[in-house]
Amino acid sequence: MGRWVKAADTADFASLPADSLSLAVEAEGYDIVLFKLPGGWGALDDTCSHEYSKLSEGEVWDGRVYCEKHGSSFDCRSGEVRGLPATEDVQSFAVEQRGEEIWLELPDYA
């Protein structure tokens, strides 16, 4: 079990451009990208596993985020690689909406 922390408000997404489905947030030292997806949310480490570009600057399409640097794609919920050149998954986080707030589950302290 990890620890749940508030990461954002749903209103934070309302202030984004209409076609933008991702939001970069910082939660207790973790750089995370939140995704607004059909039927829910996704949360991944905001660092591409290929050459460390920000996934929050990529395009979101059909449940995948496409890194803007070289085009690797990852599942927005699981972080699994869906397209090269990346070969390693990115870390995913459990995420849920509580009222008007978005909460993340972070790993426990070591």
Cα separation of 101 and 110, whole Å? Answer: 27
User: Judging by DSSP bridges, how do beta strands 95-98 and 30-37 pair with one another?
Assistant: unpaired
Closer residue to ligand FES, CB minimum distance, 36 or 50: 50
* Cβ 39 to ligand FES shortest distance, Å: 26
Distances (CA, A) of 66 to 4, 48, 55, 108: 27, 10, 7, 29
* Three-class secondary structure of residue 67 per DSSP: coil
Cα separation of 40 and 21, whole Å? Answer: 12
* Cβ 32 to ligand FES shortest distance, Å: 16
Closer residue to ligand FES, CB minimum distance, 8 or 90: 90
* Cβ 10 to ligand FES shortest distance, Å: 28
List contacts with ligand FES (CB under 6 A).
Answer: 48, 50-51, 53, 67, 69-72, 85-86
* Cβ 53 to ligand FES shortest distance, Å: 4
Closer residue to ligand FES, CB minimum distance, 8 or 21: 21
Contact 65, 58 (CB under 8 A): yes
